[in-house]
Amino acid sequence: MTPVVVVFVLALSAGTLALDNGLMRTPPMGWLAWERFRCDIDCDHDPKNCISENLFMDMADRLAEDGWRELGYVYVNIDDCWSSMQRDANGRLQPDPKRFPGGIPRLARYMHDRGLKLGIYGDLGTHTCGGYPGTTLDKIQTDAQTFADWGIDMLKLDGCYSNATDQEQGYPLMSKALNATGRRIAYSCSWPAYQGGLPPKVNYTQLGEICNLWRNYGDIQDSWSSILNIYDWFFTNQDIIQPAAGPGRWNDPDMLIIGDYGLSVAQSQAQMALWAIMAAPLFMSNDLRSLDSRSRAVLQNKGVIAINQDPLGIQGRRLIKEKSGIEVFWRPLSDGASTVVFFSRREDMPYRYQTSLKKLNYTAGVYQVYDVYQEKPLPSLKDSTDFVVSINPSGVVMWYVYPAKQTLSDGKLYGPARRHHGKYFAPPTHL
């Protein structure tokens, strides 16, 4: 049998340069406060939910004790409203003393002791979006050094209250300043989101050289319509966005809202699958202390995580947009594997979609298919054989596809699937 080679055009994009701090070779995973907890600073009346060290320690405990950390969810990220309204006597940012009485270094140690990492939030401008002290150009070095001294592992630098010129200067300057501290601090840039996300205003080559990830577009909210809005923007603009991603440099469509109030189970599976196609950072913004079991199952699905975290780091694309409301996505993965996602934008009932791997551009051959959400292998499939998938309204069917075992020229069995399966999937019995 001839070796099966899935068309690999997208791989061409992986050779570009990334920020040289060696971090985030696969999309970062963890937890981020903003979408779920916003700027709740009322610890007197809402002690469990206010932005305070307790909230971050609670989430760290859950990540460490409930199986998240082992799956890769290691960042615990503070967002806006953590700081005091004034800088200290030396011009350094300081946390609100009432809500963070132990200080940030102690919080960072808390994370590190548990094998986790601590992220923090700043804003390149006079104020953060929530009105807290910002990082004007003259404060960039001070703030980078402060974060490094505190043991911070990641900085999200927002762009409220700054203009295009400040941003053009400030975002690269902060990148340099972080590197100059000698501490490896991952760098998330909101810059493109403030410039409309598209060239000529946005230069994705430059972003890849200075940032590990970047917000391209607006804020996610707790609703399915918000996901669709983000999704539409990212895939309408995929020709621009998709080649920008690669190891160490990721597009960020914003947080996962799975486990909050706005999504059904099908929609939760869809967000996770589409974020995996996009090689997106997986920052959950939910309450891990009271997560329901169905959301947990989606967020902890090993197959979808493995696909998101594929070491090639090639972002996927939408291949097909049918009039019926069915859309098909494809992402190449390492070892000749790939993922296919069938997504339904319909609002009526499960839709039976008929196609074949050949129609999805697969080269001739026999393939093994693993259904990621059913968590089981399907019968092997010839490229030319038509099949039918039943896709729930606003839901997905997600497949991990790999060439059937075959003999290489040296007589050894070609077994890419086993490597993937070894770590993440239950090995199919027929392999």
Please say which residue, 168 or 219, places its beta carbon nearer to ligand GLA. Answer: 219
**Contact status: 130 vs ligand GLA (CB under 6 A):** yes
Please say which residue, 132 or 235, places its beta carbon nearer to ligand GLA. Answer: 132
CA angle 84, 212, 171 (to 5 degrees): 55
Q: Among the candidate windows 128-136, 240-248, 294-302, 308-316, which touches ligand GLA by CB under 6 A?
A: 128-136
On whether the CB atoms of residues 150 and 88 are closer than 8 A, the answer is no
Least CB distance from residue 120 to ligand GLA, whole Å? 11
Q: Among the candidate windows 4-12, 122-130, 133-141, 410-418, which touches ligand GLA by CB under 6 A?
A: 122-130
On whether the CB atoms of residues 84 and 96 are closer than 8 A, the answer is yes
Least CB distance from residue 35 to ligand GLA, whole Å? 8
Q: Where are the alpha helices (DSSP H) in 278-345?
A: 293-299, 302-308
Q: Which of 80, 123, 143, 158 is catalytic?
A: 158
Q: Exactly one of 129, 178, 227, 314 binds ligand GLA (CB under 6 A); which one?
A: 129
Q: Which of 219, 222, 287, 371 is catalytic?
A: 219
Catalytic annotation present for 219: yes
Alpha carbons 338 and 383: distance in angstroms, whole number: 14
C-alpha pair distances (Å), 89 with each of 86, 97, 105, 122, 193? 9, 15, 18, 19, 33
Helix (H) or strand (E) holding 387: strand 387-391
Please say which residue, 61 or 287, places its beta carbon nearer to ligand GLA. Answer: 287
What angle, rounded to 10 degrees, do the helices at 103-113 and 53-65 form?
A: 10
Query: What is the three-class DSSP state of 82?
Result: coil
Strand runs labelled E in 190-300 = 213-215, 250-252, 282-284
Alpha carbons 75 and 270: distance in angstroms, whole number: 23
Window 172-201: contact mask with ligand GLA (x via CB under 6 A): ------------------x-----------
Q: Among the candidate windows 57-65, 126-134, 140-148, 263-271, which touches ligand GLA by CB under 6 A?
A: 126-134
On whether the CB atoms of residues 399 and 370 are closer than 8 A, the answer is yes
Window 9-48: contact mask with ligand GLA (x via CB under 6 A): -------------------------x--------------
Q: How many CB atoms lie within 10 A of CB 256?
A: 28
Could you say which residues in the range 339-378 bind ligand GLA, by CB under 6 A? none
Number of residues that bind ligand GLA (CB under 6 A): 9
Window 138-177: contact mask with ligand GLA (x via CB under 6 A): --------------------x-------------------
Q: What is the DSSP letter of 349?
A: S
Least CB distance from residue 128 to ligand GLA, whole Å? 6
Least CB distance from residue 223 to ligand GLA, whole Å? 16
Q: Among the candidate windows 60-68, 123-131, 172-180, 233-241, which touches ligand GLA by CB under 6 A?
A: 123-131
Largest pairwise CA distance in the chain: 73
Please say which residue, 158 or 327, places its beta carbon nearer to ligand GLA. Answer: 158
Could you say which residues in the range 51-80 bind ligand GLA, by CB under 6 A? 79-80
Cα 336 from chain centroid (whole Å): 23
Least CB distance from residue 27 to ligand GLA, whole Å? 17
Least CB distance from residue 212 to ligand GLA, whole Å? 16
Alpha carbons 118 and 417: distance in angstroms, whole number: 34
Closest C-alpha among 296, 283, 298, 295 to residue 32: 283
* Active-site annotation, residues: 158, 219
Interface residue list for ligand GLA (CB under 6 A): 34, 79-80, 128-130, 158, 190, 219
